[in-house]
Chain A
Amino acid sequence: MELKDKLVSSFPAIGDGADTRSTLHRIRIEAMKQFEYKGFPSKKEEEWKYTSLNALLKSDYSLFPEGKNKLDLEDVKRYFIHDIDSYRLTFVDGRYDEELSDMAHEGFDISLMSTAIENPEYREVIERYFNKTVNAKDSLTSLNTAFLKEGVFVRIPKGKLIGKPIQILHFSTGNGEALMLQPRNLIVVSENAQVQFIERHQSLSDHEVLTNSVTEIFAEKRAVVDYYKIQNDKLKASLIDNTYISQEGESNVSVHTFSFGGKLTRNNLNFYHRGERIESTLKGVTILGEKQHVDHHTLVNHAFPNCESHQDYKGIYADRSTGVFNGKVIVEREAQKTNAFQQNNNILLDDRATVNTKPQLEIFADDVKCSHGCTIGQLDDEALFYLRSRGIPTKEAKALMMYAFANNVLESVRIPEVKVRINKLIAKKLGVDMGFDGE
Chain B
Amino acid sequence: MAYTEEELKKELETKEYEYGFYTDIESDTFPVGLNEDIVRAISKKKEEPEWMTEWRVEAFRAWEQMEEPEWANVQYSKPDFQNISYYSAPKKKDKYKSLDEVDPELLDTFNKLGISLEEQKRLAGVAIDVVMDSVSVATTFKETLAEKGIIFCSISEAIREHPDLVRKYIGSVVPQKDNFYAALNSAVFSDGSFCYIPKGVRCPMELSTYFRINQAGTGQFERTLVIADKGSYVSYLEGCTAPTRDENQLHAAVVELIALDDAEIKYSTVQNWFPGGKDGKGGVFNFVTKRGLCETNAKISWTQVETGSAVTWKYPSCVLKGDNSTGEFYSIAVTNNYQQADTGTKMVHLGKNTKSTIISKGISAGRSQNSYRGLVQVNSRAENARNFSQCDSLLMGNNCGAHTFPYIEAKNKTAQIEHEATTSKIGEDQIFYCNQRGIDTEKAIALIVNGFSKEVLNKLPMEFAVEAQKLLEISLEGSVG
Which residues does A use to contact B, with CB under 8 Å? 46, 333, 336, 346, 348-378
Contacts and interface: CB of A to CB of B under 8 A. Distances in A.
A353 B413 contact: yes
Contacts, number: 116
A361 B421 contact: yes
A366 B413 contact: no
Given A364-B400, A366-B398, A377-B417, 15 more contacts: A46-B71, A348-B410, A348-B412, A351-B380, A351-B411, A351-B413, A352-B411, A353-B413, A354-B411, A356-B410, A360-B403, A360-B404, A363-B393, A371-B422, A374-B408
11 contacts: A333-B398, A351-B411, A354-B409, A357-B407, A358-B406, A360-B405, A363-B403, A367-B398, A370-B423, A374-B418, A378-B413
Nearest to B427: A367
Contacts of B397: 366
A372 B380 CA distance: 26
A73 B65 CA distance: 62
Interface string B164-179: 0000000000000000
B42 interface: no
Q: Find the residue from A333, A366, A373 having the highest chain B CB count within 10 A.
A: A366
A129 to B, nearest CB: 32
Given A356-B407, A361-B402, A366-B425, A374 B413 contact: no
B404 A361 contact: yes
A331 to B, nearest CB: 8
A366 B408 contact: no
A369 B390 CA distance: 16
B419 A351 contact: no
Contacts of A377: 415-417
Contacts of A360: 403-406
Contacts of B398: 333, 336, 364-367
B338 to A, nearest CB: 15
B410 A346 contact: yes
A346 B409 CA distance: 11
A371 B380 CA distance: 29
B228 interface: no
Instruction: In the A-B complex, list the 5 residue pairs whose CB atoms are closest, starting with the nearest.
Output: A366-B395, A376-B417, A348-B413, A374-B419, A361-B404
Contact of A356 (B71, B409, B413, B415): B409
A374 B419 CA distance: 5
A353 B396 CA distance: 42
Contacts of A366: 395-398, 400, 425, 481
B424 A369 contact: yes
Contacts of B408: 355-358, 374, 376
Nearest to B420: A373
A297 to B, nearest CB: 14
A252 B424 CA distance: 25
B414 interface: yes
A378 B414 CA distance: 7
Contacts of B481: 366-367
Contacts of B401: 362-364
A333 B399 contact: yes
A362 B337 CA distance: 18
Contacts of B409: 354-357
Contacts of B418: 373-375
Nearest to A375: B418
A367 B420 CA distance: 19
B422 A376 contact: no
A376 B425 CA distance: 29
A348 B384 CA distance: 12
Contacts of A355: 408-410
